Amino acid sequence: MKLVGRAWVFGDGIDTDVLAPGRYMSLSPRELADHCLEAVRADFASNVETGDVILAGENFGIGSSREQAVESLKILGISAVVAKSFGGIFQRNAFNLGLMCLSCPTLDLSNLREFDLVELHMKAGVLHAGKHSWDCEKLPEFLRNMINDGGLIAHLNKQSNAKEDK
Amino acid sequence: MFSIVEKILSRASGQTNFAVDEYLSCKVDLAMVHDSSGPRRLAPKLAEMKRKLFDKDRLAIITDHFVPAHDEASQKIKRVTEEFVHRENIRHFYPEEGICHVVLPQKGLLSPGMFFVGGDSHSTTAGAFGCYAFGIGATDMAGVAATGEIWIKVPQTRLVTLTGALGYQVFAKDIILNLCGRFGMNMAEYQALEFAGEGIATLSMQERMTLSNMSAELGAQAGIIAPDAITSEWLDAHAPERTLVDGMPDTYWQSDMGSHCGPSYNVDLDTLSPYAAAPHSPANAAPLTDHDSPEFTIAYIGACTGAKLVDLRAAAKILKGKQIASSIRLLIAPASLADQQAARDEGLMQIFEEAGARFLPTTCGMCAGYGVDRLGAEDICISSTARNFKGRMGDAGSQVWLASPASVAAAALTGKLTDPRHLVSDI
């Protein structure tokens, strides 16, 4: 499976409070998403388009276990995140909610410009941007399937429905 | 050559040949939820998936967050929880006895070698009993409830060596705060930590629980301690009829020599002094006497990490025959009914009362900021809890310092940061 999208480029340490600010956590998921990343890019929520990809540095999503950090990116239409490394719980939550997140330790952000078109090959675990390409982690098939189905609940749901149809 | 973590993952996954960073699907021996992460979240998701609970006897439900139910929302959560327990015929239901991480082992539900998940970030506590234990979110828990399985990325088992033995008035909390201060809250990068070394043998089970509990503050997925004679003795006393995992003796669950990888860490217990963490992060920890002290308005002894029987004993030693400062309030919420009863039997509750303390119910209480007792904007609190994030215990303007129960008690006597080693000489 291949995915093409515009790139948003962020640095190191984008934490869960930047993704889903604590003071807006009582709002609806849609309203909360409007504040996603505003602390580092005020125009993010208003300019992001469905299918966009986030490229980032170390420890993307570090911080709390709140699933809203992932949910906000999903609501805004982000199709994948590629980062040098992730907060462990964030990446778990991302897979479970159906957001593709691949770590890419060698990713060189200085070779990337905002809104460059990038191509992500999920199965091979390769990211292409212009002349450059980087090896990302390769996810096992069961995780790729789960993410494609839209996350863990949808994946199990599909299995239940498949059983009923038999 | 396997670490204790790899031995547990191997059994849980049925795989023998795997490496760090590989993905495994593991069978869960036991899952635990509390009233916040429990039925109110699980029931709708199970219904959406048209799935039944995988095994009613492998799900423990322990209510501790929204209890006592002081408002309508809390009463609703309590009702939803009770209805689920009744409908699903849950055997391991322990309402309003104490904090889930402390109650769980008291009920004899843990045994070394178990693969355990909990719907709370401090579920790492069960690692003190030689279980692979980690906290998961609502979606993950729904998957476990439906299938009894969970995926895991094989972590490094990083070694934390404790050399020597803790000195007078220095505790497990000080070990963790030392690590938080030196390495920060992402020290473990979501890998597993194993606490080992000669220092471990000097720590009681409840002190070990503090290490595993606050592995979460070090960014670890799990913080495990291999079982020894102290573990087996504790478990035999609390669960005389416990079943050994795979019939293996407790001592089977050990790391082989040379099986650790990634960075390793060392804490010298002989030279460790009492620590305190300034607002608003455990990573702001430093030796207690290095800080400039504020004037505290509240001293809080509570939480799974800071109000177990050993914690209450440490605080009582400081407070015995003394009065708290007139400028401060001392609030004590024992971690469970069993700990509270034992404290009463030992005369500790009377010591607290005579010193001027006020008691709160045996729940998460102020630590999670869910109940009626919350910090106000002007409050500066010194607390035996695990986290001092901005606003966690109440108003966003409040400030929380973290320290051991003994150091919190010492601060209650003077109203300021006070080295507990300088207070007692007679016991």
Q: In the prediction, which pLDDT does A21 show?
A: 87
Which positions in chain A touch B221 (Cβ < 8 Å)? 88
| Contact between B404 and B308 (Cβ < 8 Å) | no
What's the rounded Cα separation, in Å, for the pair B360 and B352?
12
In this predicted structure, the answer to whether residue A163 has a pLDDT above a threshold of 80 is: no
Q: Name the phi and psi angles at B161, rounded to 5.
A: -95, 125
Among residues A55, A61, A73, which one has the least CA distance to residue A6? Answer: A55
Q: Are B302 and B385 in contact (CB under 8 A)?
A: yes
**Closest approach of B272 to chain A, Cα-based (Å):** 28
Residue B396 CB contacts under 8 Å (≥ 6 apart), including other chains: A23, B377, B390
Whether residue A142 and residue B151 make contact (CB cut-off 8 A), yes or no, is yes
pLDDT digits 0-9 by tens, B51-110: 999 999 999 999 999 999 988 989 999 999 999 999 999 999 999 999 999 999 999 999
Instruction: Report long-range pairs for B23-27 (Cβ below 8 Å, ≥24 apart).
Output: B23/A139, B23/A140, B23/A142, B23/A143, B23/B151, B23/B152, B23/B153, B23/B154, B24/B151, B24/B152, B24/B154, B25/A142, B25/B149, B25/B150, B25/B151, B25/B152, B26/B115, B26/B149, B26/B150, B26/B151, B26/B152, B27/B115, B27/B148, B27/B149
Q: Mean pLDDT throughout B289-299?
A: 98
Query: Around B162, how many Cα atoms within 13 Å sit in the side-chain half-sphere?
Result: 24
Between CA B128 and CA B101 the distance in angstroms is 11
Residue A23 Cα, gap to closest chain B Cα (Å): 10
Question: Which segment of A139-143, B55-59, B213-217, B378-382 scores lowest on mean pLDDT?
Answer: A139-143
| Domains of chain A by start residue, with CATH | 2-165 (3.20.19.10)
The rounded distance, in Å, linking the Cα atoms of B39 and B35 is: 7
Mutate which of A67, A68, A92 to test chain B, going by most B C-beta atoms within 10 A? A92
Query: Can you give the pLDDT at residue A159?
Result: 86
Q: Measuring CA to CA, how many Å separate B118 from each of B91, B163, B256, B289, B339?
A: 17, 31, 27, 37, 22
Across B264-411, the runs of DSSP E, i.e. the strands, are 265-268, 275-277, 285-287, 298-301, 329-332, 358-359, 380-383, 399-403
Contacts of B135 in chain A (CB under 8 A): 65
Give the gap in angstroms from C-alpha B120 to the nearest C-alpha of chain A: 9
Distances in whole angstroms, Cα of residue B5 to Cα of each of B78, B134, B153, B204: 36, 12, 12, 22
Eight-class DSSP state of B366: G
Q: Position A166: which residue type?
A: K
Contacts of B368 in chain A (CB under 8 A): none
- Bond from prior residue into B68 cis (ω within 30 degrees of 0): yes
Angstroms from A88 CA to nearest CA on chain B: 5
Least confidently predicted of A154-163, B10-19, B190-199, B278-287: A154-163
For the stretch B103-122, pLDDT in tens is 999 999 999 999 999 999 99
Which of B137, B146, B186 has its CB closest to that of A93?
Answer: B137
Sign of CA dihedral B152, B8, B18, A87: positive
Look at domain B4-269 and name its CATH class: alpha beta
Cβ of B121 within 8 Å of Cβ of A65? The answer is: yes
pLDDT of residue B427: 46
pLDDT tens column, B225-235 = 999 999 999 99
- Per the CB < 8 A criterion, the answer to whether B313 and B346 are in contact is yes
What residues contact residue B269 under an 8 Å CB cut-off, 6+ apart?
A: B162, B163, B164, B165, B166, B167, B170, B175, B199, B202
Q: Do residues A94 and A81 touch, judged by C-beta distance below 8 A?
A: yes
How many CB atoms are located within 10 Å of the residue A116 CB? 16
Tell me whether B216 touches chain A (CB under 8 Å).
no
* A153 vs B23, B45, B186: nearest CB: B45
Between helices A88-97 and A68-75, what is the axis angle to 10°?
Answer: 50
- B51, B185, B186: best to mutate for the A interface, most A CBs within 10 A: B186
Taking phi over 0 as left and psi of -120 to 50 as alpha, with beta for the rest, A37 belongs to: left
Q: What percent of chain B has pLDDT over 70?
A: 99
Q: Which residues of A touch B147 (CB under 8 A)?
A: 156
Q: Where are the domains of chain B?
A: 4-269, 279-422
pLDDT digits (tens, 9 = 90+) for A45-60: 999 999 999 999 999 9
Return the CATH number of B279-422, one of 3.40.1160.10, 3.40.630.30, 3.30.499.10, 3.40.640.10: 3.30.499.10
What residues of chain A lie within 8 A of the CB of B48, using their CB?
153, 157
Confidence of residue A111 (pLDDT cuts 50, 70, 90): confident
Could you report the per-residue pLDDT of B164-176, keeping only the tens digit for each? 999 999 999 999 9
Alpha carbon distance B308, B295 (integer Å)? 26
Average pLDDT, chain A: 93
Residue B269: which of B330, B203, B212 has the closest Cα?
B203
User: Please, which pLDDT band fits residue B241 given cuts at 50, 70 and 90?
Assistant: confident
Say whether B142 and A153 touch across the interface (CB within 8 A): yes
Give the ipTM: 0.86
Q: What are the distances in angstroms from CA B403 to CA B170, B279, B282, B311, B409?
A: 10, 12, 10, 11, 10
